[in-house]
Amino acid sequence: MADTRTATTRTATLLIDGKEVSLPILTPTEGPECLDIRRLYAEADVFTYDPGFTSTAACASTITFIDGDKGILLHRGYPIEQLAEKSHYLELCYLLLYGHLPKAAELEKFETLVTRHTMIHEQMHYFFRGFRRDAHPMATMVGVVGAMSAFYHDSLDINDPRQREIAAFRLIAKMPTIAAMAYKYSIGQPFVYPRNDLDYASNFLHMCFAVPAEPYDVDPTLARALDRIFMLHADHEQNASTSTVRLASSSGANPFACIAAGIACLWGPAHGGANQAALEMLREIGTVDRIPDFIARVKDKSSGQRLMGFGHRVYKNYDPRAKVMKQSADEVLDLLGIKNNPTLQVARELERIALEDDYFVSRKLYPNVDFYSGIILEAMGFPTSMFTPIFALARTVGWISQWQEQIADPQLRIGRPRQLYQGEAQRDYVEVEDR
Ligand code: CMC
């Protein structure tokens, strides 16, 4: 692929203390143009300052595009709404990894390859047993996924494209097994081995909810709804956990270590941990009549309370994933015959009030993907502690696609941000008796 990052004719001029610095303007396929500041320090002896990366593109990518103002999410150019309706998770995995929709034979081969990697090394079962039973499944996942590098030595060489591909298959295939085992371990039930005759989502449901003592039939409609949840979480361009994976990988770290770093980052309540926090918040509110008090608390900045499942760094419009998720919540509760679900009632009313309230309107705060996902997962029987592990297993393909893209990039250099140092200027050491 030609390097379009340098094929530019337009420039911007920066004037610093009378000195002109010319900055190339890079043109994207979609979205804002980027000022190329790579030579700024060498030419003008200044850094740029952008904590939180609100205006900084940390990489070039061809995988996912978000238009936050319009509420658009595209994977390899395809809108998420179309993918959620017509595709399925493993096909989306193929699309993210390889850049095109697979032909039937390509998809079949891919599904077979991924399915053949669902079991984990038997010795890893003992590794699980070292954790406390009451450990959060995300804590277990960070540890176990990091430990994969101690078990799969033949897919650690990041300079070998074949080993990278095998690492990708292993991670996508084993993550549901690891997440389900973390859950089973936390509730004291025996691990359930993967079943390769089941599709990706059905296999996960089976590993979570089957017990050896009796048969467990997976409901295909629930499996389809879970598959859609996986799709809605599959990738989201340069979010915090993906950027963590990229930064970790820029040093040449192995894929399992990098994905473990991504899982650790995802756990935070401002990111993937928001789905658990959102459902706990809805439960805490409890009834519709308590919403005004809660909203008042959110508006009082000193309370530290945020409306979880609302707001997004990029979306300044309704998160397109939340629209699909809301529709799925209705369908799943309907299917399960759950009527007048109090949590859903609180969620709907909270959303209605927030979308009319000037505090949220003026800040462009809309429901995000995490606002309704917990309601569906809870209805399926998952405890809140499993919400973020499910996000992690679904996001693994995004992390691994972005990791592959970065390693294949000839311009890859170690990620090494600069800083605005505001500490003490140089000073001399003071002997202890003189302090
Ligand atoms: N509730 C109340 N106020 C909020 C919220 C919220 N959820 N989100 C942002 N604000 C306010 C914030 O107080 C600030 O107000 P002001 O301008 O008066 O200081 C303004 O909106 C801008 O907020 P910010 O913190 O500068 O925005 P950010 O882009 O740094 O943060 C966010 C984005 C997602 C971390 C934030 O909106 C948030 O904490 N939301 C709740 C947690 C959540 O749902 N996270 C999941 C995000 S989607 C899935 C994922 O990425 O994992």
pLDDT digits (tens, 9 = 90+) for 121-160: 999 999 999 999 999 999 999 999 999 999 999 889 999 9
Q: Give the model's pLDDT for residue 338.
A: 85
| Cβ contacts of 151 within 8 Å, gap of 6 or more | 120, 121, 123, 124
Q: Give the model's pLDDT for residue 3.
A: 64
Q: From the CB of 310, is ligand 1 less than 6 Å away?
A: yes
- What is the DSSP annotation of 369-423? THHHHHHHHHHHT--GGGHHHHHHHHHHHHHHHHHHHHHH-TT-----------S
Catalytic choice (289, 312, 409, 434): 312
pLDDT digits (tens, 9 = 90+) for 20-45: 999 999 999 999 999 999 999 999 99
Q: Give the model's pLDDT for residue 341.
A: 84
Q: Give the model's pLDDT for residue 302.
A: 94
Q: Which of 323, 325, 365, 371 to mutate to test the pocket of ligand 1 (most atoms within 8 A of CB)?
A: 365
Q: Nearest residue CA, atom 39 of ligand 1?
A: 270
In this prediction the pTM is 0.94
Q: Give the model's pLDDT for residue 388.
A: 95
Q: From the CB of 370, is ligand 1 less than 6 Å away?
A: yes
Q: How far apart are CA 47 and CA 339, in angstroms?
A: 57
Q: Give the model's pLDDT for residue 339.
A: 79
206 annotated active-site: no
Q: Give the model's pLDDT for residue 7.
A: 63
Atom number of ligand 1 nearest to Cα 359? 3
Q: Give the model's pLDDT for residue 191.
A: 96
- What the block records as the tokens of 110 is 């891919």
Q: Give the model's pLDDT for residue 318.
A: 87
Ligand 1 centroid, distance to 217 Cα (angstroms): 40
Ligand 1 centroid, distance to 417 Cα (angstroms): 24
370 annotated active-site: yes
Q: Which residue has the tokens 């359930």?
A: 192
- What is the DSSP annotation of 21-59? EEEEEEPPSSS--EE--TTHHHHHS-----GGGSS---S
Q: Give the model's pLDDT for residue 344.
A: 87
Ligand 1 centroid, distance to 100 Cα (angstroms): 34
Q: Which of 313, 357, 369 to mutate to test the pocket of ligand 1 (most atoms within 8 A of CB)?
A: 313
Q: From the CB of 239, is ligand 1 less than 6 Å away?
A: yes
Q: How far apart are CA 43 and CA 59, in angstroms?
A: 21
Q: How far apart are CA 176 and CA 183, in angstroms?
A: 11
Q: Which residue has the tokens 């990620």?
A: 415
Mean pLDDT in runs of 10 for the chain (435 residues)?
65 94 94 95 95 95 95 97 97 98 98 94 92 95 96 91 95 97 95 96 97 94 94 97 98 97 96 91 93 94 92 91 90 86 90 92 92 91 95 98 95 94 97 97
289: Cα separation from own chain's centroid: 34
